[in-house]
Chain A
Amino acid sequence: QKEVEQNSGPLSVPEGAIASLNCTYSDRGSQSFFWYRQYSGKSPELIMSIYSNGDKEDGRFTAQLNKASQYVSLLIRDSQPSDSATYLCAVGTDSNYQLIWGAGTKLIIKP
């Protein structure tokens, strides 16, 4: 069974520090990787996608992918209280459009 694993947290990070969120996946055939942010009671919102090994940067966010280790991470630099949310890792394969989701990591940024 295909699985995506995340630490549920909460992960508490002081404001201005780097928040590091991690995700591992079981299916070696996975081709696409996504980080979604979900505020309490709201819908998931895509913040990063990554498709090849290495780093991808977008503003304060950096996604890192290591397919050999089956590991994807999200770094948030200069963390702000508004970054407090649950971060969901989702993984897809080329064979279909299904995404396999992790249960999410709750991130708390303390002022």
Chain B
Amino acid sequence: EAGVTQFPSHSVIEKGQTVTLRCDPISGHDNLYWYRRVMGKEIKFLLHFVKESKQDESGMPNNRFLAERTGGTYSTLKVQPAELEDSGVYFCASSQGLLGGELFFGEGSRLTVL
């Protein structure tokens, strides 16, 4: 069974540019989460999809971040325009059923904003 896959694994962009991160969850997992870890800090929740619906987006830092999950399959997280403080590792995770904390994580997308 394929795990959670994320693309790209690493992206280096300049301040003001746009980046789109993609996540393919485990097939059949309705719950999809985006998390972010800034260097030296703890992992922070960004948002949660149940199928194609945003269940909770309270962790999104600001309106420069836009997440979508069309069709309830893969998800994208767009940062536009990127700022220096957006640098970090963006993790996607998925889960099945109601056990929200038992997550399967992707390898992460490392974003570096110069």
CB neighbours of A49 from chain B (8 A): 99, 101-102
B25 at the interface (CB under 8 A from A): no
Q: Mark B6-49, 1 if CB is under 8 A from A, else 0.
A: 00000000000000000000000001010000001111110010
CB neighbours of B56 from chain A (8 A): 96-98
Once the chains bind, are A102 and B102 in contact (CB under 8 Å)?
A: no
Give the interface size bracket for B toward A: 20 to 34
Once the chains bind, are A98 and B91 in contact (CB under 8 Å)?
A: no
**From residue 65 to 111 of chain A, which have CB atoms closer than 8 A to chain B?**
88, 90, 92, 96-104
CB neighbours of A90 from chain B (8 A): 43, 101
Once the chains bind, are B108 and A43 in contact (CB under 8 Å)?
A: yes
Report the count of interface residues on A (CB-CB < 8 A): 22
Using CB atoms, name the residue of chain A closest to B91: A43
Complex Cα gap A42–B4 (Å): 13
Using CB atoms, name the residue of chain B closest to A94: B100
A34 at the interface (CB under 8 A from B): yes
Using CB atoms, name the residue of chain B closest to A95: B56
B52 at the interface (CB under 8 A from A): no
B84 at the interface (CB under 8 A from A): no
Complex Cα gap A46–B91 (Å): 14
Complex Cα gap A90–B33 (Å): 14
**From residue 32 to 59 of chain A, which have CB atoms closer than 8 A to chain B?**
32-34, 42-46, 49
Complex Cα gap A43–B107 (Å): 5
CB neighbours of A43 from chain B (8 A): 4, 91, 105-108
Complex Cα gap A70–B56 (Å): 26
Once the chains bind, are B58 and A98 in contact (CB under 8 Å)?
A: yes
Once the chains bind, are B108 and A99 in contact (CB under 8 Å)?
A: no
Complex Cα gap A33–B101 (Å): 8
* With A32-B99, A97-B33, A97-B101 already in contact, 15 other A-B pairs whose C-beta atoms are closer than 8 Å: A32-B101, A42-B107, A43-B106, A44-B105, A45-B105, A88-B43, A90-B101, A96-B48, A97-B31, A97-B48, A98-B48, A98-B58, A99-B100, A102-B42, A103-B40
